[in-house]
């Protein structure tokens, strides 16, 4: 299994617009062979100093894939290229961590 944690920071005020495109793309991603989990997350409220917030312009995508081949196919999927084209002008930064369980 492969885990992906993608930290996406939008340009100021653009997170909701990007998340709208993300949510529209989720059914196509979840239908991909090898997709176990795929979803966007934002800061939880009410935890105080226990957490380090990602902030109002950032969201974190949590993914699980059956294999590296499945992840590579996901990256090459036409719907991912279409999604990237829709959001590219609103992205300030993205950091993608690809992890293996220990």
pTM of the model: 0.94
Give pLDDT, residue 49.
Answer: 87
pLDDT digits (tens, 9 = 90+) for 48-99: 888 999 999 999 999 999 999 999 999 999 999 999 999 999 999 999 999 9
**What sign results for the dihedral spanned by CA atoms 4, 66, 76, 62?**
negative
Distance CA 14, CA 9 (A): 9
pLDDT at residue 40 is higher than 90: yes
Give pLDDT, residue 48.
Answer: 86
Distance CA 6, CA 62 (A): 7
Residues 6+ apart with CB under 8 A from 2: 64, 65, 66, 67, 68, 70, 71, 98, 99, 100
């Amino acid at each position: 299994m492969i885990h992906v944690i993608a930290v996406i920071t939008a340009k100021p005020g653009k997170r909701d617009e990007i998340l709208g495109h993300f949510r529209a793309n989720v059914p196509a991603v979840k239908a991909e062979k090898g997709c176990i989990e795929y979803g966007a997350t934002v800061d939880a409220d009410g935890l105080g100093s226990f957490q380090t917030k990602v902030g109002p312009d950032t969201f974190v995508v949590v993914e699980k894939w059956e294999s590296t081949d499945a992840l590579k196919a996901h990256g090459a999927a036409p719907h991912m290229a279409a999604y990237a084209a829709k959001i590219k002008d609103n992205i300030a930064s993205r950091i993608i961590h690809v992890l293996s369980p220990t």
